[in-house]
Chains A and B, each alone.
Chain A
Amino acid sequence: MNRRRTSAADFILNQGTTFFALVLFVIVSGIGVVLILDSLPTIREFGLDFWRTSTWDPVAEMFGAAPFIWGTLYSSLLALAISTPISLGVAIFTSELCPNWLKRPVIFTTELLAAIPSIIYGLWGIFVLVPMVRTLQTSLPDWIREIPLFSGPPYGLSMFTAVITLAIMIIPYTSSVAREVLKAVPIAQRETAYALGATRWEVTKVVLYYARVGIVGAVMLGLGRALGETMAVTMVIGNNLQASWSIFAPQYTMASVIANELLEAGTEMHISALIEIALVLFIVTLIVNAASRLLIWRMTRETKRTVVPAAKAVEIA
């Protein structure tokens, strides 16, 4: 009796876990395969023009995805520009400055931001952020509003609103990974710098310099989130096909157009076009995430490096 049971356990341990691990692998590769197969019609029809042209006209079956690429890149990069310094500030605060008793509460509350569902960011965005952005825009002096970067009517639903929402959403991701990365910097690095008479900020700079690879990884992780974020962005970006430099113009992203159009796409080409957008989103986030994991991994596993750069960094400072 006993013997049979143990062999069952072994069977599960060997074959069972292998089977389920394979399931996991099949799902991931299956996503890629399904997306490729389903987007073949537009890949064949338009080739690379799909990504270069900007006419999105389901009636004439002309599909150019450039405006969505623009919207996704523009919104994600602007959001990173805002969130990166803030995330780093939070990470430095929690790993370098913060008194011990305050550490937990600060980490806990900043990470709560990550727990809020994106639909709630969207809801809040529509009813709170959008009117605020509109007021901000109308209160700007005319000479600013004539600069192309800030031009256009005060829609409220705009690139800027989406950027703010995205920035808030990715701060907890970037800051928590950055904190881990800073934590992985050997104490010796800090002590050497202090011993050389560095101020706290100079020490932090040494730490940041040492952790730079991992920090880039943390920022890229945030980028991966921003590229694929759907609901909150769809609700506040205005869903407009014209790509524009103006941050107050309503624009469109890759994820938003899928959310808006997949269920009502009338033709095979239209569906295929949307799935091709999903395919590219998949590939891009795959690359960004893989790169970011690699960088973070390299950083956190290589804590045994020598402390030479520290003294050099202090000199630079």
Chain B
Amino acid sequence: MKQTRHWTRRTFFAVALVVTLSAAAWAQKVQINGGGATFPYPIYSKWFSEYNKMHPGIQINYQSQGSGFGIQQIQKQTVFFGATDGPMNNDQLAAALGKVMHFPTVLGAVVPVYNLGSTSDLKFTGPLLADIFLGKVTKWNDPAIAKVNPGVSLPNTDISVVHRSDGSGTTYIWVDYLSKVSPQWKQKVGVATSVNWPIGLGGKGNEGVTGVVKQTPGAIGYVELIYALQNKIAYGSVQNADGQFVKASVESVTAAAAAAAAQMPADFRVSITNAPGKTTYPIASFTWILLYENPKDKAMAKTFVEFMKWALTDGQKFAPDLGYAPLPEAVVKLEMDALKKIRVQ
């Protein structure tokens, strides 16, 4: 009996110790959870890591799960902030537990990546890309591809189409563009973060699609520019609204943004695919962070708004190195005003 009591007491102290220790570890840290788009993940992970270095007590945990995830989880408030590259539509906004605001963070380009060994610098037109993804063009040496790529020797191999398996803002941007240039796409498939793909295989996230394309000879897919750059995968230039073939770059995306900045709507939900301009890359987009206007946790809101201010100003300098275009000044100004609406008290 005595032994039992002894044992009980020891357990009690051990439990108390563990509780105290974990409570202490807890008190020092603010952890803010978010998730969503994989498209801006490289720059977000850079931002959160840099910000954590400047403010060691603040950990912003971002899980790159796809824009569909960002939208769903912010609606259900399982995360503090969401992230998406396809703006939420009105139904999705209505389904949220309060007013959700969009904040553009950077701009990026979606590029057609392919795996054809040494063949590089392919050119694509919008309708051609639509036909490939509709399954109407199935061989790399199809006359439709040869026509816009004179002089390039194209192999007689099957095209393996790779798309996203998850709900994705990158998909949104891609199919938004295809719908603008191909009536058949618009009618058969439509625009959303996940669509009913006519053909192809699915990779999870930009990471997954890049991985599959990289490992599959004859594959074509679409990913955010940085994923093509970091993984040294060939990506093609795309014909823009003015008839020019443009390769995605920080400059050609900035050109697309410049046009949009002038007519930015108050809620920042804007599509800039197939934008006019000779040097404009046609498959570009803003990417957004989603926040509740009246968040439940005010302390967390305050911390996160501070982070946003940093990201929209000083943080922008990390963008070009990672293949993203920084926000136009005018947009940053609008957003700074909008951030004031977030209720932190």
Contacts and interface: CB of A to CB of B under 8 A. Distances in A.
Interface string A262-277: 0111111000000000
B80 interface: no
B68 interface: yes
A136 to B, nearest CB: 14
A212 interface: no
B197 interface: yes
B165 interface: yes
B193 A266 contact: yes
Nearest to B190: A59
A59 B176 CA distance: 13
Given A5-B1, A239-B203, A240-B202, A265 B72 contact: yes
A118 interface: no
A134 B215 CA distance: 10
Given A130-B215, A265-B72, A155 B160 contact: yes
Contacts of B69: 263-264
Contacts of B200: 240, 250
Contacts of A250: 200-202
B192 interface: yes
Which 3 A-B residue pairs are closest in the complex by CB-CB distance? A264-B68, A153-B158, A239-B202
Contacts of B75: 266
A233 B168 CA distance: 22
Interface string A234-267: 0000111110000000101000000011011111
Contacts of A268: 95
Interface in A134-168: 134, 152-157
A58 B167 contact: yes
B42 interface: no
Given A55-B196, A57-B196, A261-B167, A156 B202 contact: no
B158 A154 contact: yes
Interface in B150-201: 157-160, 165-167, 190-197, 199-201
A157 B201 contact: yes
Nearest to B4: A5
Nearest to A156: B216
Given A154-B158, A154-B218, A59 B196 contact: yes
Interface in B106-161: 157-160
B253 interface: no
Nearest to A263: B69
B226 to A, nearest CB: 21
10 contacts: A130-B215, A153-B158, A238-B202, A242-B199, A250-B201, A260-B165, A263-B72, A264-B66, A264-B69, A264-B72
Interface in A169-185: none
**Which secondary structure characterizes the binding site on chain A?**
loop
A271 to B, nearest CB: 8
Contacts of A152: 158
A57 B202 contact: no
Q: How large is the interface on A (under 10, 10 to 19, 20 to 34, 35 or more residues)?
A: 20 to 34
Nearest to A57: B196
A266 B72 contact: yes
Nearest to B70: A264
A115 interface: no
Interface of B: 1, 65-73, 75, 92, 95, 157-160, 165-167, 190-197, 199-204, 211-212, 215-219
Nearest to B69: A264
Contacts of B92: 266
Interface in A1-58: 1, 5, 55-58
Nearest to A240: B201
A57 B201 contact: no
Contacts of A261: 68, 166-167, 194
A261 B66 CA distance: 10
A131 interface: yes
A152 B161 CA distance: 12
Contacts of A242: 199
Contact of B192 (A5, A58, A239, A265): A58
Contacts of A238: 201-202
Nearest to B165: A239
A267 B166 CA distance: 14
A265 B158 contact: no
B166 A260 contact: yes
Contacts of A1: 1
A250 B203 CA distance: 11
Nearest to B218: A153
Contact of B71 (A130, A131, A156, A266): A266
A239 B68 contact: no
Candidate in B69, B159, B194 with the most chain A CB atoms within 10 angstroms = B194
Contact of A241 (B65, B67, B196, B219): B196
A283 B92 CA distance: 32
Interface string A121-136: 0000010001100100
Nearest to A152: B158
A266 B196 contact: no
Contact of B215 (A59, A156, A240, A241): A156
